[in-house]
Structure 1
Amino acid sequence: MVTDQTEPKIYSSKREIYKDYKIAIKFIPDFDVVEKSNYPKLLAEIDQELGAKMRKLSQKITLWDEHRTLPSWSYFLQVPCLDDAGKEIGLKFVLLTHETGLEVFIADLHYYADFARHLAQNHPVVTTALSSWALKKGFDAAFSGLVSVISKRWTECIDPEGGWKIVRVAIRTEEKGVMEMPFSKFEISQIDCLLQRWELIKHLSEVNQSCFGGELCEPKLHDPKDWGETEPMARD
């Protein structure tokens, strides 16, 4: 069994998370999640539908401003999938539950390259190239399944009475900016494209056309009449 059985790392701040997971995808509803108690039902649906390993890490995360602590619960998620040889591999994510939406942290290609080399070393008939291809398929399946559950189950789990839905997605990074797009235009292939070009860009705007079809926009002022977040808030 290839899935990592070690204890998940405990993070105390978003800075620490970004050291291991370079990209965060935040799913933002049209109204805030007032009751945090609504999140466990959604997380249970993710766990069940994906056959995932879910573990709660902490109940608060320190923000970029070290004097501010966000009362967001953090979770470790490992989604099992099979490679072409039928061996199980586990794709890792970190989830944060905010009042302003669910944030999913994903690793960059360095993690998958290291994982591919590990697979090749432990399975002599499997080359690193084949392992990389299998991992890409695994990531696509795991992340697509995660997004599908979030999309389908959000309203019934988070706000069954009000019917609020996810309306936009924020692509967040520590060093390469924060940009947003309508959720209706978001596709898994866009993140694949971003991962492939990650080391070549300095800012997300550089792949707006090539990866996101021009749908990305800069975060706007945080105003009830506007959709978007200011840069500091986008890091919360």
Structure 2
Amino acid sequence: MTIRTRFAPSPTGYMHVGGMRTALFAWLIARQSNGKFILRIEDTDQKREVSGSVEHIYKCLRWLDLIPDEGPDDFGGEFGSYKQSERLDIYRKYAQKLIDAGRAYADPYTPEQLDAFREEAKAHKKPFLYRDYRPENPPAWDGSQPLRFRSEPKPYTWHDEVMGEMHAGPEVIDDFILVKSDGFPTYNFAHIVDDAEMEITHVIRGQEFLASTPKYLNLY
């Protein structure tokens, strides 16, 4: 098996030490195993994108000589495009597969209705979970509504190379959004599709993402 790591920054700001540290470890793991280091630009948050930040990412990686084996623009590679904003058709294909399998549905509620559900949960002194208000007969998804994943509330166990054996209870996962009403996928959906499509074998990221791992296990 060829080890394939990735560095997948969002162009919502300029590179910082934490981001470069992640890139360095991903590059080192790929190099010590004679694997591949992939750069992917996760630019689905169009409203927060900072002009010039993609070029700044390229400049920083070249400055540290962390040259990707595959990536956007001049880096090239067989799994392109390596910019998420240019992969929307791929996400729609997988979204439709989830709908057909009964694992995703259109969210029919308005923001006001969701606020009312939150107040109801608060009044009953319990956490708000969207799955408690899951519609029985959701409308057909036409792309104008958010698309939600139909989660499975169950215990989760997985192995993390750094933290070891990890466990999470069924309360940690809800019916999270896959595709927003603007047609762009969420991070939770897009990066899982891309990691699978690009055959990523090892993901290096901050400990704060551990709590979201049950979502990723559901999608896989």
Higher share of residues assigned strand: 1
> What TM-score results when the alignment is normalised by the length of structure 2?
0.25
Based on CA coordinates, which of the two structures has the bigger radius of gyration?
A: 2
